[in-house]
Protein backbone atom coordinates (compact mmCIF):
# COMPACT_ATOMS: atom_id res chain seq x y z
CA UNK A 1 0.00 0.00 0.00
CA UNK A 2 1.43 3.35 -1.00
CA UNK A 3 1.77 6.33 1.27
CA UNK A 4 -0.94 8.18 -0.66
CA UNK A 5 -3.33 5.26 -0.27
CA UNK A 6 -2.63 5.08 3.46
CA UNK A 7 -3.22 8.82 3.82
CA UNK A 8 -6.41 8.52 1.81
CA UNK A 9 -7.63 5.64 3.99
CA UNK A 10 -6.79 7.53 7.18
CA UNK A 11 -8.62 10.58 5.86
CA UNK A 12 -11.63 8.43 4.97
CA UNK A 13 -11.61 6.84 8.42
CA UNK A 14 -11.46 10.25 10.07
CA UNK A 15 -14.40 11.47 7.99
CA UNK A 16 -16.38 8.31 8.78
CA UNK A 17 -15.67 8.80 12.50
CA UNK A 18 -16.83 12.39 12.32
CA UNK A 19 -20.01 11.57 10.42
CA UNK A 20 -20.86 8.61 12.63
CA UNK A 21 -20.27 10.64 15.79
CA UNK A 22 -22.43 13.45 14.43
CA UNK A 23 -25.25 11.07 13.51
CA UNK A 24 -25.09 9.41 16.94
CA UNK A 25 -25.27 12.76 18.75
CA UNK A 26 -28.12 13.99 16.56
CA UNK A 27 -30.14 10.81 17.09
CA UNK A 28 -29.69 10.95 20.85
CA UNK A 29 -30.66 14.63 20.91
CA UNK A 30 -33.86 13.89 18.99
CA UNK A 31 -34.83 10.74 20.90
CA UNK A 32 -34.18 12.03 24.43
CA UNK A 33 -37.05 14.57 24.56
CA UNK A 34 -39.46 11.97 23.17
CA UNK A 35 -38.43 9.59 25.94
CA UNK A 36 -38.80 12.32 28.55
CA UNK A 37 -42.28 13.35 27.47
CA UNK A 38 -43.51 9.77 27.15
CA UNK A 39 -42.17 9.01 30.63
CA UNK A 40 -43.95 12.07 32.03
CA UNK A 41 -47.23 11.20 30.31
CA UNK A 42 -47.09 7.60 31.56
CA UNK A 43 -46.42 8.82 35.10
CA UNK A 44 -49.45 11.12 34.67
CA UNK A 45 -47.51 14.34 35.29
CA UNK A 46 -49.88 16.10 32.85
CA UNK A 47 -53.03 14.45 34.13
CA UNK A 48 -54.72 11.09 34.22
CA UNK A 49 -54.62 8.71 31.28
CA UNK A 50 -56.69 5.60 30.79
CA UNK A 51 -55.38 2.04 30.76
CA UNK A 52 -55.51 1.72 26.98
CA UNK A 53 -53.46 4.91 26.57
CA UNK A 54 -51.00 3.73 29.19
CA UNK A 55 -50.64 0.36 27.46
CA UNK A 56 -49.85 2.04 24.13
CA UNK A 57 -47.41 4.44 25.77
CA UNK A 58 -45.61 1.52 27.42
CA UNK A 59 -45.03 0.17 23.90
CA UNK A 60 -43.65 3.56 22.85
CA UNK A 61 -41.39 3.59 25.93
CA UNK A 62 -40.09 0.14 25.09
CA UNK A 63 -39.30 1.10 21.49
CA UNK A 64 -37.68 4.40 22.46
CA UNK A 65 -35.49 2.57 24.98
CA UNK A 66 -34.58 0.02 22.30
CA UNK A 67 -33.71 2.78 19.84
CA UNK A 68 -31.54 4.56 22.41
CA UNK A 69 -29.80 1.29 23.15
CA UNK A 70 -29.10 0.70 19.46
CA UNK A 71 -27.75 4.22 19.03
CA UNK A 72 -25.57 3.81 22.11
CA UNK A 73 -24.09 0.65 20.61
CA UNK A 74 -22.79 2.54 17.59
CA UNK A 75 -19.11 2.01 18.06
CA UNK A 76 -16.78 4.26 16.12
CA UNK A 77 -13.74 2.20 17.10
CA UNK A 78 -15.30 -1.00 15.75
CA UNK A 79 -16.15 0.75 12.49
CA UNK A 80 -12.54 1.91 12.24
CA UNK A 81 -11.35 -1.64 12.74
CA UNK A 82 -13.61 -2.93 9.97
CA UNK A 83 -12.55 -0.19 7.56
CA UNK A 84 -8.90 -0.68 8.45
CA UNK A 85 -9.10 -4.45 7.93
CA UNK A 86 -10.75 -3.95 4.55
CA UNK A 87 -8.19 -1.35 3.48
CA UNK A 88 -5.32 -3.72 4.30
CA UNK A 89 -6.70 -6.23 1.82
CA UNK A 90 -6.19 -3.81 -1.09
CA UNK A 91 -3.23 -4.81 -3.25
CA UNK A 92 -1.36 -2.16 -5.25
CA UNK A 93 0.09 -3.42 -8.51
Is the per-residue pLDDT at 76 higher than 70? no
In tens, the pLDDT along 11-26 reads 888 888 888 888 889 9
Is the per-residue pLDDT at 91 higher than 90? no
Is the per-residue pLDDT at 87 higher than 60? no
* Domain ranges, ordered by start, for the chain: 3-88
Mean pLDDT for all residues in the chain: 84
At residue 89's C-alpha, the angle toward residues 86 and 90, to 5°, is 105
4, 42, 44, 45, 74 from 25: Cα distances, Å: 31, 26, 29, 28, 11
Q: Taking the model in full, what pTM does it have?
A: 0.66
The residue that leads in pLDDT, 9 or 33, is: 33
Q: How far is CA 59 from the centre of its chain?
A: 20
Amino acid sequence: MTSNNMESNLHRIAINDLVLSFVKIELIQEITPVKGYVDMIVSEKFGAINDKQKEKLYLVQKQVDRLLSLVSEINVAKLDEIIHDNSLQINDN
